[in-house]
Amino acid sequence: MKFVRVKTYEEMSTLAADLMAAQILVKPDSVIGLATGSTPVGMYKKLSKYNKAGKIDFAKVKSFNLDEYAGLDGTNEQSYRYFMNDKLFNHINIDMANTHVPNGCAADLALEGEQYDAMIAEAGGIDMQLLGIGFDGHIGFNEPDDHFTAPTHGVVLDESTIDANSRFFEKREDVPTMAISMGMRSIMQAKKILFVANGKGKEDIVNKAFFGPITPEVPASILQLHPDVTVFFSEE
C-alpha cells in the first residue's frame, strides 16, 4: 500500500486525478470504478479540465459506479446517477452508454446485483477502482456487519450513514433507508485501488481501516488484502 498524506483537499484532488489520468493514458479502453460523495468532486473537476484541454480521452473508457440509493431513478437529483452525470459525465467525452450505475429501482436488487457483476466481468473487470470512505468505515455502501459480502447486493443503510448523508437532502426523512452496492468481490478484484479521504473526522476511521485488524466491522479494512492500493489522505 502506498499511503500519501497531503495538506490540502486541492492537492489530494490533483494527485488522485493525475493517477486516474495516467491509467487512462496507458490504457485508453480502461474500465474504471467510480464513487460518489463529496470527496471525489474536486478530482472529477480536474479530470473534466484535463479532458477539455485534450490531455485525456474518455472515448473508449467504460465506468461502473459503486452504488445507488434504492427507489431513486436517474432523474432524481439525489440519485447517484444524477450526481455522476452532473459532476463528471456531462463534462467529459465519455459515451453515456459506457457508464454504468446500479439500478436502484430494480424490483429484485439481488438479481440486479448479479447482472451488474456479470457486466463488470464481461468488460474484463475493473482496472482502477476509486473509493472514498464513510464515517463508519463503509466503502460503496458496504456497511459494518459480522461478515463481508461478496456480490453486488441490496443493503439496509446504517442510521449513522443516513445521518451523514442527510446533508444532501432537504430533510432526514427523505434519505432512502436502502441501497444497492457493489460487493467486496468486484471491488477487491479491481487491479488497482485509488482511495481518497479528507475532511474532519475521517482520520480515525482511516487509521482503523489501514492499520487496524481486518474485520467486517470496518469494511474498508479488507483493502489491506489488496496488492495495489494508493491512499491519498488530506489533512484539511
Q: Which residues of the chain form contacts with ligand GLP (CB under 6 A)?
A: 35-39, 66-67, 132-134, 140-141, 161, 165, 199
Q: What is the distance between the alpha carbons of residues 126 and 62, in angstroms, rounded to a whole number?
A: 9
Distances in Å between the alpha carbon of 120 and those of 99, 101, 125, 182, 185? 11, 11, 5, 10, 11
Nearest-approach distance from CB 161 to ligand GLP, in angstroms:
6
Nearest-approach distance from CB 209 to ligand GLP, in angstroms:
12
Between 56 and 219, CB nearer to ligand GLP: 219
- At residue 108, the 3 state secondary structure works out as coil
Beta bridge partners of 193: 129, 229
In contact, 215 and 180? CB cutoff 8 Å? no
Q: Which residues contact 62 (CB under 8 A, 6 or more apart)?
A: 29, 30, 31, 32, 98, 99, 100, 123
Between 29 and 235, CB nearer to ligand GLP: 235
Nearest-approach distance from CB 156 to ligand GLP, in angstroms:
13
Between 48 and 161, CB nearer to ligand GLP: 161
- Residue 155, CA atoms < 13 Å, CB-side half-sphere: 29
Between 27 and 41, CB nearer to ligand GLP: 41
Between 52 and 226, CB nearer to ligand GLP: 226
Between 15 and 66, CB nearer to ligand GLP: 66
Nearest-approach distance from CB 233 to ligand GLP, in angstroms:
13
**Burial track 145-182 (b if 16+ CB lie within 10 A, e otherwise):** eeebbeebbbbebbeebeebbeeeeeeeeebbeebbbb
Q: What is the distance between the alpha carbons of residues 140 and 116, in angstroms, rounded to a whole number?
A: 14
Nearest-approach distance from CB 8 to ligand GLP, in angstroms:
16
Nearest-approach distance from CB 53 to ligand GLP, in angstroms:
26
